[in-house]
Amino acid sequence: MVDKFKPLDVLNKSLKSPVIVKIRGGREFRGVLDGYDLHMNLVLSDAEELNKDTSVKNLMGEILVRGDNVVYVSPTVQKETEKGEGEGKGKSKGRGEGKGKESGEKGTW
C-alpha cells in the first residue's frame, strides 16, 4: 500500500517554510507559513502581495488569510544558490532576508 499525503499533512510539512497562497479574486501572496487550523485559516509572516508577473506588488508583513478564501497553497523550494549564500559567513536565510528577487519566478524563494 502506498502512503498518500492528505492536504493538512502537506501544510504541516510546510510550517516555517515559504509558501505561495492564491485567494479568491486572483490575488496571490508569498510568505512564511507560521500557522494554520482545520478551516485552513493561514498565518503568513513576511508576506508579500504578488503581481500577475509574480513581482512584488506590496509588502504586507504578518497576515491572516481566512480559509474559505484560499484557492491553493503551494510550498516553494529555495534555489541551491540561495541555500548556500549565507553559509560560512555567519549569516543565514531568516525572516526578512531574500526579498527583492530579480527573477520573480513562482516556486522559488
- Asked if 82 and 93 count as a contact pair (C-beta separation under 8 A), the reply is yes
**What CATH number has the domain bearing residue 56?**
2.30.30.100
**Would 63 be classed as within a structural domain?**
yes
- Residue ranges making up the domain that contains 26: 7-77
Q: How many domains does the chain have?
A: 1
What is the model's pLDDT at position 7? 79
SS3 content of the chain, % helix, strand, coil (to 5): 15, 40, 45
Q: Please state the rounded mean pLDDT for residues 75-85.
A: 60
**Would 98 be classed as within a structural domain?**
no
Closest CA to 18 of 84, 104, 101, 94: 94
The pLDDT tens digits for 2-42 are 678 787 888 999 999 999 999 999 999 999 999 999 999 99
Please, which residues bridge with residue 48 across strands? 30, 59
Q: Please state the rounded mean pLDDT for residues 86-101.
A: 45
**Would 95 be classed as within a structural domain?**
no
Cell numbers standing for residue 37: 487550523
Cell numbers standing for residue 66: 481566512
The pLDDT tens digits for 32-70 are 999 999 999 999 999 999 998 889 999 999 999 999 999
What are the start-end ranges of the H helices in 1-109?
7-13, 80-85
Q: What is the pTM assigned to this prediction?
A: 0.66
**Would 93 be classed as within a structural domain?**
no
The torsion angles phi and psi of 101, rounded to 5 degrees, stand at: -65, 135
Residue bearing the bigger pLDDT, 59 or 1: 59
**Would 12 be classed as within a structural domain?**
yes
